[in-house]
Amino acid sequence: MFDILFQGGKVVTAEGVFEADVAVTGEKIACIGKIDASAASKVVDVTGKLVLPGAIDAHTHLAMPFGGTVSADDYKAGTRAAVCGGVTTVFDYVMQKKYGDKVDGIMESVEKRMAMCAPVAASDYAFHVAITNLDDGRLLSEFPVAAEAGITSFKCFMVYRRENMMIDDGNILTVLEEAKKAGILVNVHAENCDVIDAKVAQFKREGKLSPWYHYLSRPEFVEEEADRRAIYWAEYTGAPLYIVHLANAGGVEVVREAKARGVKIYAETCPQYLEFTSDVYKREDGRNFVCSPPMKGEASREALWKAISDGFIDTVATDHCPFMQAEKDWGKEDFTKIPNGCAGIENLYPYMLDAAGKGKITYERAVELCATNPARIFGCTRKGAIAVGKDADIVVYDPEKDFTISVANMHSDYDHTIWEGKHLHGYPVQTWLRGKLVYDNGEYVGSYGEGKFVKRAKHL
Ligand code: URP
Ligand code: ZN
Ligand code: ZN
């Protein structure tokens, strides 16, 4: 006897869309096919609906200290909002903290965040660790320890010197070499920090401080140039590389060329770069859109969509890092005072599925970008697909439901969203986390703390 039967829907995988019932036993998908209702204790009628794997948001910053404050969604709010948008696994960036000369170890950093997340998590969760300092090489011995513990991805920021998050090029090269040996994939935030800092200083001198100058302080090439540098290092070391939040047409070209040369490189973009252009920085509320990289020009937006269709972009994730309106307002008169980041965790899957409904991409591609590829790239072996033996992370999606995003119908703690007023055709109606209903027609119905740590496979 199965525990739950999703009957009458269409299953979407990265490979196809087909009519099938899905049976769940305990936390796992047990059977897919034509299944009689009498074979299950509970039947969920999903006639007219799509049955999708839970999405994986591979890029979030929950409770992250940044720009003199902490991002507005903590682990409780962020993971709650995640499941309400069909995301069943959240990757958070653990920041390795520096205190003057002292620095937290890698596992020490993870343990501190795990202690914050585990008691309240509403979704499953995993961590990337942002390496900011190797403590003269002493922390290299922790790489294999982290990999054994299931932390199989790190991050290097090529920017944010002022915020103490940046790591220099030489140390990135060392991280790549040692990470490869340990089976760890390195993510990079690639922009040229020196160029940005010089432009920011110039605009300050000139009194050009509106949000538009946030965009102009990061000329489109700063991303492409840094992508190119990071790819050189990946080629030299033979280490795989994952470029986060690709936002620029030149960067897309660099990735395309590198992939054609056989470099083991993955590229992620985010819904905000697919939806908005730099024009948002001319708006009265332009400060609310300040994130890094900034939204780019229309040519970049189009290039990203094309790369998605052509298969050169591997994942879409959110870079969810919201701040409260009062904090964004610190930069009303000076863009350098605006904490960088925007909301998105609850909008990822609905946005990409709406694009599929409109024929911009296929449903299969939306599932591949938001669930199957992040699971494969980051070693979540039990996640990312509707397949027998996988975790029963299931989203029931109504392709005909109309939904208008508003801060009032989101499940986060923030008080404004860049997605306000965005109309979607199609919306998730239920989210199941390992066989348990956690989101039902607008309501979070799970229990905090039931989200589990996802111990990941090494990247080999
Ligand atoms: O503006 C952003 N993206 N804030 C979060 C930190 C980062 O760069 O990923
Ligand atoms: Zn970043
Ligand atoms: Zn980020």
To test the pocket of ligand 1, the residue of 215, 318, 321 to mutate (highest count of ligand atoms within 8 Å of its CB) is: 321
The C-alpha atoms of residue 103 and residue 122 are separated, in whole angstroms, by 30
Tell me if 383 sits within 8 A of 454, measured CB to CB.
yes
**36 CA to centre of ligand 3 in angstroms:** 45
Q: Express each pLDDT in 50-85 by its tens digit.
A: 999 999 999 999 999 999 999 999 999 999 999 999
Q: Express each pLDDT in 159-191 by its tens digit.
A: 999 999 999 999 999 999 999 999 999 999 999
Q: Express each pLDDT in 397-435 by its tens digit.
A: 999 999 999 999 999 999 999 999 999 999 999 999 999
402, β-bridge pairs: 425
Whether the predicted pLDDT of 217 surpasses 80: yes
**245 CA to centre of ligand 2 in angstroms:** 7
Q: How far is CA 393 from CA 76, 266, 296, 343, 437, in A?
A: 19, 24, 34, 23, 10
Kindly state the percentage of the chain with pLDDT values over 70: 100
All domains in the chain, ordered by first residue: 2-52+386-444 (2.30.40.10), 53-377 (3.20.20.140)
| pTM of full prediction above 0.85 | yes
To test the pocket of ligand 1, the residue of 59, 292, 337 to mutate (highest count of ligand atoms within 8 Å of its CB) is: 292
The C-alpha atoms of residue 414 and residue 255 are separated, in whole angstroms, by 34
Enumerate residues lining ligand 1, CB below 6 A: 61, 189, 291-292, 319, 321, 340-341
Residue nearest to atom 4 of ligand 1 (CA): 341
Whether the predicted pLDDT of 100 surpasses 80: no
Q: Express each pLDDT in 128-161 by its tens digit.
A: 999 999 998 999 999 999 999 999 999 999 999 9
3 state SS for 328-369: HHHHCCCHHHCCCCECCCCCHHHHHHHHHHCCCCCHHHHHHH
Q: Express each pLDDT in 332-389 by its tens digit.
A: 999 999 999 999 999 999 999 999 999 999 999 999 999 999 999 999 999 999 999 9
